[in-house]
Amino acid sequence: MTDSDASSPSPFPGGVIACRAYRDGLRVSEVPIDGIPAALGNPGWFLWIGLYEPSEELLRTVQDALGLHDLAVEDAHAAHQRTKLDTYDDSLFLVLRTVRLEGEPRRLEFGETHIFVSKRYLVSVRHGSLQNHLGVRARCEAVPTQLARGSGFVLHALMDFIVDQYFPVVEVLEKELLSLEEEIFAGRFSSEITSRLYRLMRDLVSVRRAVSPLTDVSSHLARVDCPVIPAETRPYFQDVNDHVLRINELIDTVHQLSATALNAHLALASVSQNEDTKRLAAWAAILAVPTMIAGLYGMNFENIPELHWRLGYPVAMVFMSVVCALLYRGFKKSGWL
């Protein structure tokens, strides 16, 4: 969230978290939405407006006051956009994806932050959890020397906060992979492990889809000459770009290890099934001997000489036992039993 206290009652219309004016890094005053044009008339003032899932009417009001581009406003209202950076004359429009883990079992919760930024204002439009940007505004206000740099510094603060939220998510997914690896190599083979590995890989792909476009966005802001981003602020975006690259590397590593773990799980499960098959085949071969002999002498033929032999039964039992013992020894020695 872009504000220090989202739980306190808001004096603004629904959807407005905060609308504040700053000068030289210090808060000047709260500004009502209909007072935005007047506030922009004050030289040296910078407006930071935070909106949460605003109505179309509220967005149009802000658009008329700041001259926002129609296409950008349409995207901000509709949401469900991919991470991107668009340039409109003297302003920028960014879409950033937020993510966190919620519930038990844990599931990924994605949100969006749409940012309109120019030299005189920054408008953040958030869709998703209220807690995603908690404290960003308070931290910026705590360093007025940095906040005096205006919208460029605030944009960096927002991007840095959003990007840093990916690290704990990826770490949790990595721990889940380690737990699965322990179960796999402990010889626990079940469809549940396969399902958990699939869900893990699917979550990693979802996170990567949100993070990957940030590489180009942060790199562009760090290297391309842009009037909205002062030259002294660009190194901060390079730091964000470094974080994004690290996250992408972590995601790729965990995804590759997850694929390897899935292959290992399937291979070990196949080996285990082969071992079971060999054991069953060995016992079937051992039991085939007494079954054959008992079946042979169980036939209803009158002329079977051994049927009238006095020692026929004990000899048959000893013969079956000896052959079964020899077969068992042979299979045991070969590793089939």
Place of tokens 């179309």: 56
- CB crowding 218-242: b at 16 or more within 10 Å, else e: bbbbbeeebebbeeebbebbeebbe
How many residues can be counted in the chain? 337
CB 85 within 8 A of CB 93: yes
DSSP H/E element including 305: none
- Three-class secondary structure of residue 20 per DSSP: strand
- Three-class secondary structure of residue 126 per DSSP: strand
Lowest mean pLDDT among 3-17, 117-131, 243-257: 3-17
Rounded distance between C-alpha atoms, residue 207 and residue 184, angstroms: 25
Q: What is the mean pLDDT of the chain?
A: 83
pLDDT at 121: 92
pLDDT value at 96 more than 70? yes
Higher pLDDT, 186 or 156: 156
Phi then psi dihedrals of residue 239, to 5 deg: -65, -40
CB 154 within 8 A of CB 140: yes
Domain 274-334 sits in which CATH superfamily?
Answer: Magnesium transport protein CorA, transmembrane region (1.20.58.340)
Rounded distance between C-alpha atoms, residue 48 and residue 147, angstroms: 11
**Residue type for 115, please?**
I
pLDDT at 286: 77
Q: What is the CA radius of gyration of the chain?
A: 35
Range(s) of the chain covered by CATH 3.30.460.20: 1-163
Range(s) of the chain covered by CATH 1.20.58.340: 274-334
Place of tokens 């409109």: 88
Rounded distance between C-alpha atoms, residue 79 and residue 56, angstroms: 12
The answer for 44, left when phi > 0, alpha when psi is -120 to 50, beta otherwise, is left
Q: What is the pLDDT of residues 106-161, one digit of tens each?
A: 788 888 899 999 989 999 998 876 555 668 888 998 999 888 888 889 999 999 99
DSSP E strand stretches across the chain: 16-23, 26-30, 46-52, 84-88, 91-102, 107-117, 121-127
pLDDT at 329: 81
pLDDT at 287: 82
Phi then psi dihedrals of residue 86, to 5 deg: -120, 145
DSSP 33: G
Q: What is the dihedral angle through the alpha carbons of 163, 165, 168, 171, rounded to the nearest 10 degrees?
A: -30
Q: What is the pLDDT of residues 319-331, one digit of tens each?
A: 888 888 888 888 7
- Give the chain's end-to-end CA distance (angstroms, integer): 63
The H-assigned helical ranges of 144-302 are: 144-147, 151-164, 166-185, 191-223, 234-297
DSSP E strand stretches across 2-132: 16-23, 26-30, 46-52, 84-88, 91-102, 107-117, 121-127
Long-range contacts, 65-71 (Cβ 8 Å, 24+): 65/33, 65/34, 65/36, 65/37, 65/40, 66/36, 66/40, 66/116, 66/118, 66/121, 66/123, 68/116, 68/123, 69/93
Phi then psi dihedrals of residue 226, to 5 deg: -140, 130
Rounded distance between C-alpha atoms, residue 229 and residue 241, angstroms: 15
The verdict on whether omega for the bond into residue 105 sits within 30 degrees of 0, i.e. cis, is yes
Confidence of residue 10 (pLDDT cuts 50, 70, 90): very low
Lowest mean pLDDT among 19-28, 67-76, 233-242, 299-308: 299-308
**Residue type for 82, please?**
R
Architecture, CATH, for domain 1-163: 2-Layer Sandwich (3.30)
The pair of three-digit structure tokens given for residue 30, joined into one six-digit string: 């709260």
